[in-house]
Structure 1
Amino acid sequence: MGDKDQSDIAHYERPEGLPPVNGYSHAVAFTGRMVAVSGQVPLDADGTLVGEDDAEAQIRQVFVNLVAALAAAGATPDRIVKLTVFLTDLADLAAFRRVRDEFLAPQRLPACSLVRVAGLVNPAFRVEIDALAAI
Protein backbone atom coordinates (compact mmCIF):
# COMPACT_ATOMS: atom_id res chain seq x y z
CA MET A 1 0.00 0.00 0.00
CA GLY A 2 2.95 2.34 0.23
CA ASP A 3 4.90 4.00 3.01
CA LYS A 4 3.39 5.50 6.19
CA ASP A 5 2.64 8.86 4.50
CA GLN A 6 0.75 7.09 1.70
CA SER A 7 -1.40 4.76 3.85
CA ASP A 8 -4.61 6.36 2.57
CA ILE A 9 -3.74 5.59 -1.08
CA ALA A 10 -4.24 2.16 -2.65
CA HIS A 11 -2.61 1.41 -5.99
CA TYR A 12 -4.06 -1.32 -8.23
CA GLU A 13 -1.14 -1.65 -10.62
CA ARG A 14 -2.30 -4.61 -12.68
CA PRO A 15 -5.74 -5.95 -11.77
CA GLU A 16 -6.62 -9.37 -13.12
CA GLY A 17 -7.69 -9.27 -16.75
CA LEU A 18 -5.82 -6.09 -17.71
CA PRO A 19 -2.68 -5.80 -19.85
CA PRO A 20 0.81 -5.22 -18.43
CA VAL A 21 1.75 -1.72 -17.30
CA ASN A 22 4.92 0.33 -17.58
CA GLY A 23 5.33 3.03 -14.93
CA TYR A 24 1.72 3.50 -13.82
CA SER A 25 -1.20 1.83 -12.04
CA HIS A 26 -4.45 1.05 -13.80
CA ALA A 27 -6.38 2.50 -10.83
CA VAL A 28 -5.67 4.49 -7.66
CA ALA A 29 -8.16 4.92 -4.81
CA PHE A 30 -7.55 7.87 -2.52
CA THR A 31 -9.02 9.88 0.34
CA GLY A 32 -12.37 11.38 -0.55
CA ARG A 33 -13.82 8.03 -1.69
CA MET A 34 -12.81 8.47 -5.31
CA VAL A 35 -10.90 6.23 -7.68
CA ALA A 36 -8.73 7.46 -10.56
CA VAL A 37 -8.34 5.11 -13.52
CA SER A 38 -5.35 5.62 -15.82
CA GLY A 39 -5.93 5.99 -19.54
CA GLN A 40 -7.06 2.64 -20.89
CA VAL A 41 -6.16 1.54 -24.39
CA PRO A 42 -7.53 -1.18 -26.69
CA LEU A 43 -5.33 -4.00 -25.37
CA ASP A 44 -6.77 -7.23 -24.00
CA ALA A 45 -5.53 -9.04 -20.88
CA ASP A 46 -2.63 -10.53 -22.87
CA GLY A 47 -1.56 -7.10 -24.14
CA THR A 48 -2.88 -7.80 -27.66
CA LEU A 49 -4.39 -4.98 -29.70
CA VAL A 50 -8.14 -5.43 -30.25
CA GLY A 51 -9.73 -4.13 -33.45
CA GLU A 52 -6.71 -2.82 -35.35
CA ASP A 53 -8.80 -1.02 -37.99
CA ASP A 54 -12.12 -1.05 -36.10
CA ALA A 55 -12.79 2.01 -33.92
CA GLU A 56 -15.88 0.50 -32.31
CA ALA A 57 -14.02 -2.69 -31.29
CA GLN A 58 -11.18 -0.60 -29.86
CA ILE A 59 -13.58 1.61 -27.88
CA ARG A 60 -15.46 -1.45 -26.56
CA GLN A 61 -12.17 -3.00 -25.34
CA VAL A 62 -11.26 0.28 -23.63
CA PHE A 63 -14.58 0.22 -21.74
CA VAL A 64 -14.05 -3.46 -20.82
CA ASN A 65 -10.69 -2.43 -19.36
CA LEU A 66 -12.23 0.54 -17.52
CA VAL A 67 -14.83 -1.76 -15.94
CA ALA A 68 -12.13 -4.22 -14.82
CA ALA A 69 -10.01 -1.43 -13.32
CA LEU A 70 -13.03 0.06 -11.52
CA ALA A 71 -13.99 -3.38 -10.15
CA ALA A 72 -10.49 -3.88 -8.76
CA ALA A 73 -10.95 -0.66 -6.78
CA GLY A 74 -14.45 -1.52 -5.58
CA ALA A 75 -16.36 0.72 -8.00
CA THR A 76 -18.80 0.12 -10.83
CA PRO A 77 -19.34 1.97 -14.13
CA ASP A 78 -22.43 3.71 -12.78
CA ARG A 79 -20.17 5.49 -10.28
CA ILE A 80 -18.00 7.15 -12.96
CA VAL A 81 -18.15 10.91 -12.45
CA LYS A 82 -15.62 12.03 -15.10
CA LEU A 83 -14.26 10.62 -18.35
CA THR A 84 -11.44 12.03 -20.42
CA VAL A 85 -11.56 10.67 -23.97
CA PHE A 86 -8.69 10.92 -26.44
CA LEU A 87 -9.56 10.17 -30.08
CA THR A 88 -7.18 10.28 -33.02
CA ASP A 89 -10.09 10.76 -35.44
CA LEU A 90 -13.26 12.68 -34.60
CA ALA A 91 -15.10 10.48 -37.11
CA ASP A 92 -14.96 7.87 -34.30
CA LEU A 93 -17.12 10.03 -32.00
CA ALA A 94 -20.38 8.32 -33.01
CA ALA A 95 -18.83 4.90 -32.28
CA PHE A 96 -17.65 6.20 -28.90
CA ARG A 97 -21.15 7.37 -28.01
CA ARG A 98 -22.74 4.05 -29.08
CA VAL A 99 -20.32 1.99 -27.01
CA ARG A 100 -20.42 4.39 -24.05
CA ASP A 101 -24.18 3.96 -23.92
CA GLU A 102 -23.75 0.17 -23.68
CA PHE A 103 -21.69 0.60 -20.50
CA LEU A 104 -23.14 3.78 -18.92
CA ALA A 105 -26.74 4.78 -18.35
CA PRO A 106 -27.50 7.50 -20.93
CA GLN A 107 -29.73 9.33 -18.43
CA ARG A 108 -26.82 9.62 -15.92
CA LEU A 109 -23.75 10.30 -18.06
CA PRO A 110 -20.63 11.56 -16.30
CA ALA A 111 -18.83 14.81 -16.96
CA CYS A 112 -16.64 14.27 -20.00
CA SER A 113 -13.74 15.89 -21.82
CA LEU A 114 -13.01 14.92 -25.41
CA VAL A 115 -9.62 15.62 -26.92
CA ARG A 116 -8.62 15.03 -30.53
CA VAL A 117 -4.98 14.01 -30.57
CA ALA A 118 -2.50 13.57 -33.40
CA GLY A 119 -1.55 10.16 -32.04
CA LEU A 120 -1.32 7.93 -29.00
CA VAL A 121 1.57 5.92 -27.53
CA ASN A 122 0.97 3.15 -30.10
CA PRO A 123 0.18 4.46 -33.61
CA ALA A 124 -2.46 1.70 -34.01
CA PHE A 125 -4.48 3.00 -31.03
CA ARG A 126 -7.47 5.13 -32.06
CA VAL A 127 -8.72 5.80 -28.51
CA GLU A 128 -7.64 6.16 -24.89
CA ILE A 129 -9.98 6.91 -21.97
CA ASP A 130 -9.33 7.67 -18.30
CA ALA A 131 -11.91 8.00 -15.54
CA LEU A 132 -12.69 9.23 -12.06
CA ALA A 133 -15.31 7.34 -10.09
CA ALA A 134 -16.92 7.72 -6.67
CA ILE A 135 -16.74 4.68 -4.42
Structure 2
Amino acid sequence: MIERFERPPGLGPVNGYSHAVAGAGRLVAVSGQLPVDADGSIVDSSDGLAQARQVFANLGTALRAAGAAPRDLLRLTYFLTDLADLGAVRTARDEFLAGGPLPASSLVQVAGLVLPGARVEIDALAITQA
Protein backbone atom coordinates (compact mmCIF):
# COMPACT_ATOMS: atom_id res chain seq x y z
CA MET A 1 0.00 0.00 0.00
CA ILE A 2 1.23 3.48 -0.87
CA GLU A 3 -0.09 6.57 0.89
CA ARG A 4 0.45 10.01 -0.64
CA PHE A 5 0.39 13.33 1.14
CA GLU A 6 0.20 15.75 -1.78
CA ARG A 7 -0.32 18.93 0.23
CA PRO A 8 -0.35 18.53 4.00
CA PRO A 9 -1.74 21.49 5.99
CA GLY A 10 0.87 24.21 6.35
CA LEU A 11 2.83 23.33 3.16
CA GLY A 12 2.64 25.26 -0.08
CA PRO A 13 1.01 24.24 -3.36
CA VAL A 14 2.67 21.65 -5.57
CA ASN A 15 3.07 21.19 -9.32
CA GLY A 16 3.08 17.52 -10.24
CA TYR A 17 4.44 15.92 -7.07
CA SER A 18 3.47 14.97 -3.52
CA HIS A 19 5.18 16.51 -0.49
CA ALA A 20 5.46 13.05 1.11
CA VAL A 21 4.83 9.43 0.12
CA ALA A 22 4.87 6.38 2.40
CA GLY A 23 4.48 2.71 1.62
CA ALA A 24 5.19 -0.86 2.53
CA GLY A 25 6.34 -3.62 0.21
CA ARG A 26 9.31 -4.44 -2.02
CA LEU A 27 11.58 -1.42 -2.53
CA VAL A 28 12.85 -0.80 -6.07
CA ALA A 29 15.72 1.67 -6.60
CA VAL A 30 16.32 2.78 -10.17
CA SER A 31 19.69 4.28 -11.04
CA GLY A 32 19.85 7.60 -12.85
CA GLN A 33 18.50 7.19 -16.36
CA LEU A 34 19.99 9.21 -19.18
CA PRO A 35 18.57 10.17 -22.61
CA VAL A 36 20.10 7.24 -24.49
CA ASP A 37 18.50 4.65 -26.73
CA ALA A 38 18.96 0.89 -26.47
CA ASP A 39 22.24 1.15 -28.40
CA GLY A 40 23.60 3.71 -25.93
CA SER A 41 23.35 6.60 -28.39
CA ILE A 42 22.33 9.93 -26.92
CA VAL A 43 19.04 11.39 -28.10
CA ASP A 44 19.11 14.81 -29.83
CA SER A 45 21.10 17.07 -27.50
CA SER A 46 19.27 20.13 -28.85
CA ASP A 47 15.81 18.89 -27.82
CA GLY A 48 15.01 18.88 -24.09
CA LEU A 49 11.57 17.30 -24.62
CA ALA A 50 12.94 14.43 -26.73
CA GLN A 51 15.59 13.80 -24.10
CA ALA A 52 13.08 13.89 -21.24
CA ARG A 53 10.76 11.47 -23.07
CA GLN A 54 13.68 9.08 -23.62
CA VAL A 55 14.67 9.27 -19.96
CA PHE A 56 11.12 8.43 -18.89
CA ALA A 57 10.97 5.58 -21.43
CA ASN A 58 14.19 4.21 -19.93
CA LEU A 59 12.81 4.65 -16.43
CA GLY A 60 9.70 2.70 -17.44
CA THR A 61 11.83 -0.11 -18.86
CA ALA A 62 13.86 -0.32 -15.64
CA LEU A 63 10.72 -0.30 -13.49
CA ARG A 64 9.11 -3.09 -15.54
CA ALA A 65 12.27 -5.19 -15.26
CA ALA A 66 11.89 -5.01 -11.47
CA GLY A 67 8.15 -5.74 -11.54
CA ALA A 68 7.12 -2.13 -10.90
CA ALA A 69 5.11 0.50 -12.78
CA PRO A 70 4.78 4.30 -12.69
CA ARG A 71 1.93 4.01 -10.16
CA ASP A 72 4.45 2.41 -7.74
CA LEU A 73 6.79 5.42 -7.70
CA LEU A 74 7.62 6.88 -4.31
CA ARG A 75 10.19 9.43 -5.43
CA LEU A 76 11.81 10.94 -8.51
CA THR A 77 15.02 12.98 -8.43
CA TYR A 78 15.65 15.19 -11.44
CA PHE A 79 19.06 16.47 -12.50
CA LEU A 80 18.93 19.22 -15.16
CA THR A 81 21.79 21.07 -16.77
CA ASP A 82 19.44 23.93 -17.72
CA LEU A 83 16.35 24.90 -15.73
CA ALA A 84 14.81 26.15 -18.98
CA ASP A 85 14.14 22.44 -19.70
CA LEU A 86 11.83 22.13 -16.68
CA GLY A 87 8.67 22.65 -18.77
CA ALA A 88 9.73 19.90 -21.17
CA VAL A 89 10.50 17.57 -18.27
CA ARG A 90 7.11 18.28 -16.70
CA THR A 91 5.40 17.53 -20.02
CA ALA A 92 7.23 14.20 -20.35
CA ARG A 93 6.56 13.40 -16.67
CA ASP A 94 2.84 14.03 -17.07
CA GLU A 95 2.75 11.80 -20.16
CA PHE A 96 4.61 9.08 -18.26
CA LEU A 97 2.41 9.24 -15.16
CA ALA A 98 -0.75 9.48 -17.33
CA GLY A 99 -2.81 11.08 -14.59
CA GLY A 100 -1.66 8.51 -12.05
CA PRO A 101 -0.52 9.13 -8.50
CA LEU A 102 2.15 11.74 -7.89
CA PRO A 103 5.50 10.73 -6.35
CA ALA A 104 7.59 12.91 -4.08
CA SER A 105 10.37 14.61 -6.03
CA SER A 106 13.43 16.83 -5.95
CA LEU A 107 15.10 18.88 -8.67
CA VAL A 108 18.78 19.73 -8.81
CA GLN A 109 20.48 21.92 -11.39
CA VAL A 110 23.90 20.50 -12.28
CA ALA A 111 26.85 21.83 -14.27
CA GLY A 112 26.94 18.70 -16.39
CA LEU A 113 26.08 15.02 -16.58
CA VAL A 114 28.27 12.00 -17.23
CA LEU A 115 27.47 11.98 -20.98
CA PRO A 116 28.28 15.11 -22.98
CA GLY A 117 25.07 16.42 -24.54
CA ALA A 118 22.79 14.92 -21.87
CA ARG A 119 20.46 17.57 -20.48
CA VAL A 120 18.45 15.48 -18.00
CA GLU A 121 18.94 12.49 -15.72
CA ILE A 122 16.30 11.01 -13.42
CA ASP A 123 16.57 8.38 -10.70
CA ALA A 124 13.68 6.81 -8.82
CA LEU A 125 12.43 4.87 -5.86
CA ALA A 126 9.35 2.69 -6.16
CA ILE A 127 7.63 0.20 -3.93
CA THR A 128 5.63 -2.81 -5.06
CA GLN A 129 3.35 -5.09 -3.16
CA ALA A 130 5.58 -8.14 -2.55
Fold match (TM-score > 0.5)? yes
**Residue aligning to 1:133:** 126
Looking at both structures, which has the greater relative contact order when contacts are Cα pairs under 8 Å and sequence separation is at least 6?
2
Task: Confirm whether residue 110 of structure 1 aligns to residue 110 of structure 2.
Answer: no
Gaps of 5+ in 2: 1-23
Aligned-pair Cα RMSD in Å = 1.4
% identical aligned pairs: 65
**1:59-116: CA deviations, max 9, x gaps?**
0000000000000000011111100000000000000101100011446210000000
**Residue aligning to 1:7:** none
**Residue aligning to 2:63:** 70
Equivalent of residue 82 in structure 2, options 89, 101, 106: 89
Runs of 4+ more than 4 Å apart: none
Task: Confirm whether residue 59 of structure 1 aligns to residue 52 of structure 2.
Answer: yes
Equivalenced residue count is: 105
The CA distance in 2 between the partners of 1:39 and 1:32, in whole Å, is 22
Q: Report the Cα offset of residue 123 of structure 1.
A: 2.2
The CA distance in 2 between the partners of 1:107 and 1:35, in whole Å, is 18
Give the AA of the match of 1:70.
L
Structure 2 length-normalised TM: 0.77
Give the AA of the match of 2:92.
V
Equivalent of residue 123 in structure 1, options 110, 116, 125: 116
CA contact (8 A) 1:79 1:134 kept: yes
**Residue aligning to 2:40:** 47
